Structure 1
Amino acid sequence: MPLFQLSTNLSRADFPQHFHEDLTLILGKLLNKNPRVSKLPSEILPTNVCSELDLSQHILVCICTDQFLTCGGTTEACAFGNLASIGNFAGKDNDAYVQVVSEFIHEKLGIQDSRFTLFLSDYPSNEVGFHGMTIDSFRRKSQTAPAA
C-alpha cells in the first residue's frame, strides 16, 4: 500500500490534467507493485501510457496545493514529498527513486530539483493497516484462506 504525499506552494490550477494517473503509473513501475510492468527506475513513461496498463489499485496519491512553503528563504515554486511503502527502501535503489520522482515533478510542474525534497519512508508490514487489519494480518489471512 504505497503512499505518495506532495505538498507544494503551487495552486491546483498549475497541475496538468492526469497528474495523479501519471504519477501512479510511475510509482507502480518504480516500486514494482504492478507485476505486468518490469522495474526500470531510470525510465519515465510518457503520459499516454496510462491507459495501456492495469495499475495496482493500492497506490495512494495525496496532493496538497496552495501551501505556505518557502525554500531557501524564497516563495518560488517548491515542494516536498513523502513516498512511503513496505520493504522498498533498502538503499540500493533509493537514488533512482529520488531521481525519477524529481524528474517527474520538474517535467510536470516546473519545480527545479534544488527546490524539491523527497523523503522515503519504509514501513514494516505490521505498522500499515488495510481492510481493517495490519498488512501482516491480511497476508496471513490470505495465505490460510481455503482455495475456491
Structure 2
Amino acid sequence: MKQKKGFFKQGMGEFMEGAIAMLFLITLLILLISFTMLHTAGGAMEYAVSVIGREIVTCTSLEDARRTAQEQAELILGDSRTMPRDAIRADVGYAPGSDTEWEKGNFVFVTITAELHNLMPVTSGTKEVSDLVMIEYTGGNR
C-alpha cells in the first residue's frame, strides 16, 4: 500500500485541538471530584468532633478523655480512603482561661487533625477541626 504524501498532515490540527480539550476537561473533572471529597471529609470531621465532644464530657480524667477521643476518632473516621487510620490525631486540652483541673464547669477543646490524601495534590494536606465543650463529670458514676 502506498500512502499519499501529507496523509498525516490533514486534520492533525483538529485532532490536537480535541486531545488538548479532553485533557483540560478531564483535569477539571478530577479537580471537581477532589474538592467534593475534601468537602465530604471536612463534614465527617466536624460530625466526629461533635460526637466525640459529647462523649468525653463524662470522662473521669483528662487522660481518659484523650484516650476516648483518639479511639472514637479512629472508629468514626478510620474507614475512609481520604483519611487513613494512622493519619488521624485527636487531642483534648484545657481551654484558655479555664481551670486546669478535670471538674464540672471547666472548658476543654477537642481537636481532630487528619492528613487528607486526595486525587490532586492541590486538595491534599492537613485539616484540623476543633470544638469547645464543658466538662459534665460530677465525680459519681457515669
Determine if the TM-score, normalized by the shorter chain, exceeds 0.5: no
Using CA pairs below 8 Å that are at least 6 residues apart, which structure has the higher relative contact order? 1
- Which has more radius of gyration? 2
